[in-house]
């Protein structure tokens, strides 16, 4: 069937079917085809489909080298030693928009007119804008959830989701994370505002981080510095000051990263990520603060599946009628959550 056209009048069945198809297409283009949310991917999250609304994951400890074998020795089984366990629990999010009575009547009644009235055409444009806002709200829900994993990671405020404890029982960012095989502790908590000194200290913390076996984590080829939009100017000034490519022309400082946000700073490659969801309002209150900043080993985050976006079902759209009010609605809902499992891949600071 051909696509929906505003200059054509449809019968009840044709109008309802084509309108719903059009809405589905909008959602397909803006949500379904997008795959993993860009903010989540940039923060090192992996996406995973789950079949249960709650469950448990076991963290990875790491590996050691292979044992020596004689010529006729049997190959020993390399057992996977289990790390700490942590559960998850999915949440359902959703919202709806109402279709106006004028548009509802047009869907239901075929009046034989060759063209859509200006009123209906206006209502169609409003509906399109409302669907866009509904879609954006669904995407923002995911963005805020994964951002809160970092922003709410300095204290334990929940059993699951953002604000939950790491598998070792400590907050995501803590000075005494436990190395399971040795019982020793290590810190991924940096204090103070973002400066050259605190950035150097955070790099040291991340480079010295060890896995559950006590081995140092694989070093990042590029570290990701995550800041709020309010802290972007300060971050760029710091990275340029220490960069091999920083220079000045006629006393004016130039930027070494005009087309890319990767800086060479004191011998380290550092990618600057401005997280626009930090210090922004949400339905659950402001997400983090402008002073927060984080340093991420994204390679290790993906390798160890440190951050996970777990989805029971992706964004789904439906059209339904309230039998009492006779109002027609379009809704979107999704069942997912975000969790953290390996604190060894990131260092965080409240900026205070």
Q: Residue 342 is part of a domain; what is its CATH number?
A: 3.90.1690
pLDDT at 72: 81
Domain enclosing residue 119, as ranges = 12-63+81-349
Q: Indicate whether 70 belongs to any domain.
A: no
pLDDT of residue 311: 95
User: What pLDDT score does 25 carry?
Assistant: 58
- Report yes or no on 73 lying in a domain: no
Pairing of strands 328-340, 262-265: unpaired
Run of H or E residues at 125: helix 118-151
Residue 3 lies in a domain: no
How far lies 301's CA from each of 47, 78, 114, 220, in Å?
A: 12, 24, 58, 10
How many domains are there within the chain?
1
pTM: 0.82
Residue entry with tokens 């340029």: 240
- Ordered mean pLDDT values, 10 residues apiece, the chain (352 residues): 42 51 55 57 93 87 76 75 86 90 68 63 78 84 96 97 96 96 96 96 96 90 96 92 47 48 84 95 96 97 94 85 82 93 97 95
So what's the pLDDT on residue 115? 64
Tokens of 283: 């339905």
| Percent helix, percent strand, percent coil in the chain, to nearest 5 | 30, 30, 45
Q: Is residue 4 part of a domain?
A: no
Establish if 51 belongs to a structural domain: yes
Q: What is the pLDDT of residue 131?
A: 79
Is 69 domain-assigned? no
């Amino acid at each position: 069937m051909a696509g929906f056209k505003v200059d054509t009048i449809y019968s009840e069945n044709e109008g309802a079917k084509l309108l719903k198809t059009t809405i589905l297409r909008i959602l397909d283009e803006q949500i379904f085809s997008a795959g993993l949310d860009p903010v989540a991917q940039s923060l090192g999250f992996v996406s995973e489909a789950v079949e249960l609304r709650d469950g448990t994951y076991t963290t990875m400890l790491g590996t050691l080298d292979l044992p020596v074998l004689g010529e006729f020795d049997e190959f020993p089984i390399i057992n996977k030693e289990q790390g700490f366990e942590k559960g998850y629990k999915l949440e359902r999010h959703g919202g709806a928009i109402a279709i106006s009575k004028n548009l509802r009547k047009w869907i239901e009644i075929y009046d034989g007119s060759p063209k859509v009235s200006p009123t209906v055409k206006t209502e169609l444009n409003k509906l399109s804008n409302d669907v866009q806002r509904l879609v954006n709200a669904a995407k923002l829900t995911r963005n805020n959830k994964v951002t809160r994993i970092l922003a709410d990671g300095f204290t334990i405020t929940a059993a699951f989701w953002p604000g939950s404890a790491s598998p070792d029982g400590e907050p995501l960012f803590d000075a005494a994370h436990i190395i399971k095989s040795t019982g020793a502790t290590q810190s991924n908590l940096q204090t103070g505002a973002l400066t050259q000194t605190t950035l150097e200290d955070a790099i040291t913390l991340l480079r010295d981080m060890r896995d559950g076996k006590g081995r140092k984590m694989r070093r990042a080829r590029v570290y990701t510095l995550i800041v709020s939009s309010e802290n972007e100017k300060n971050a760029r000034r710091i990275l340029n000051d220490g960069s091999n490519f920083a220079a000045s022309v006629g006393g004016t400082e130039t930027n070494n990263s005009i087309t890319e946000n990767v800086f060479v700073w004191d011998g380290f490659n550092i990618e600057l990520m401005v997280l626009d969801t930090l210090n922004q309002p949400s339905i659950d209150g402001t997400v983090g603060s402008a002073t927060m900043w984080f340093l991420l080993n994204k390679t290790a985050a993906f390798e160890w599946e440190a951050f996970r976006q777990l989805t029971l079902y992706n964004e789904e759209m439906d059209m339904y009628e309230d039998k009492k009010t006779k109002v027609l609605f379009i809704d979107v809902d999704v069942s997912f959550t975000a969790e953290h499992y390996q604190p060894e891949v990131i260092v965080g600071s409240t900026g205070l």
